[in-house]
């Protein structure tokens, strides 16, 4: 069997948080194209249903939609019950849900700080923990967390200290879980995208001046595309990455290299 065949995900069961749109939907699409069955998890259940139906229609896979708030342990537990009821097992978790608030640190309220940390860091912990419990019993599994190049650098000109701190936390959380579970069959890695031109980002009038500045600063003079994150996630989800754990993959067009 060649490398292309060995990178297929046929029969694997995967959940994607924040999977209804943007990066989550793009990566979920790649998982489906590689043969995996999917649970699309999102607060927006209507969009999650649309995405699941689209993936089922376009690929010979099973896809379900689950509404969940990743900051609530009871929602995450319920999510896992639905996944196991539908699929019987869990092979891959893409813990991707996240938000950003551009607010000067001296003006940020505690509630604003807490919301970003709760979704971006605590939400990743809760979903990775839930996935890990199932995978540890199975003796196998791969967890992929979405961090950011913002966990490595301080973005400018926008003020986003809570986002930067949360994503740095995701990177260290990923490494910590990887070490704890290394001998028990569960791998944990994260991706750190640079500026990615999702539909939401590109259509936001308030972000247009920032996008222009980001592109001027970027070595490639452009934002990344959601599909440019697909192949690394398919690799991390599959068996060919069996020696890869505790790693952070920066996909930023060399933005952090300058």
Q: Are 251 and 228 in contact (CB under 8 A)?
A: yes
Q: Are 248 and 189 in contact (CB under 8 A)?
A: yes
Q: Is 148 a catalytic residue?
A: yes
* Residue count (the chain): 258
Q: Is 235 a catalytic residue?
A: no
Q: Minimal CA–CA distance to 248: which of 170, 158, 186, 132?
A: 170
**CA dihedral of 108, 109, 111, 115, whole degrees rounded to 10:** 0
Catalytic residue among 163, 166, 192, 241: 163
Q: Is 167 a catalytic residue?
A: yes
Q: Are 162 and 112 in contact (CB under 8 A)?
A: yes
Q: DSSP class of residue 196?
A: B
Q: Minimal CA–CA distance to 249: which of 177, 180, 174?
A: 174
Catalytic residue among 148, 150, 162, 241: 148
Produce one character per residue of 158-187: b if its CB has 16 or more CB atoms within 10 Å, e if not.
ebbbbbbbbbbbbbebbbebbeebeeeebb
Catalytic residue among 13, 167, 192, 241: 167
Q: Are 34 and 7 in contact (CB under 8 A)?
A: yes
Instruction: Give DSSP secondary structure letters for 217-244.
Output: HSTTSS-B-GGGGHHHHHHHHSGGGTT-
For the annotated catalytic residues, the residue numbers are 148, 163, 167
């Amino acid at each position: 069997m060649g490398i292309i065949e060995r990178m297929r995900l046929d029969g694997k069961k995967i959940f994607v948080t924040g999977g209804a749109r943007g990066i989550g939907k793009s990566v979920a699409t790649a998982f489906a194209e590689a043969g995996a069955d999917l649970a699309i998890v999102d607060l927006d259940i209507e969009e999650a249903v649309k995405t699941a139906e689209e993936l089922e229609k376009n690929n010979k896979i099973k896809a379900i939609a689950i509404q969940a708030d990743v900051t609530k342990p009871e929602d995450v537990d319920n999510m896992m019950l639905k996944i196991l009821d539908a699929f019987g097992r869990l092979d891959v978790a893409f813990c991707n849900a996240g938000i950003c608030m551009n607010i000067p640190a001296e003006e940020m309220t505690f509630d604003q700080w807490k919301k970003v940390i709760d979704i971006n860091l605590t939400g990743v912990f809760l979903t990775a923990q839930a996935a890990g419990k199932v995978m540890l019993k199975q003796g196998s599994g791969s967890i992929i967390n979405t961090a950011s190049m913002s966990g490595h650098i301080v973005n400018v000109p926008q003020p986003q200290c809570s986002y930067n701190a949360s994503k740095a936390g995701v990177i260290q959380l990923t490494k910590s879980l990887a070490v704890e579970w290394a001998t028990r069959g569960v791998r944990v890695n994260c991706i750190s995208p640079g500026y990615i031109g999702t539909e939401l980002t590109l259509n936001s009038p308030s972000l247009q001046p920032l996008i222009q500045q980001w592109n001027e600063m970027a070595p490639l003079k452009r934002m990344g595309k959601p599909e440019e994150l697909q192949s690394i996630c398919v690799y991390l989800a599959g068996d060919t990455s069996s020696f890869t754990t505790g790693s952070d993959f920066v996909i930023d067009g060399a933005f952090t290299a300058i």
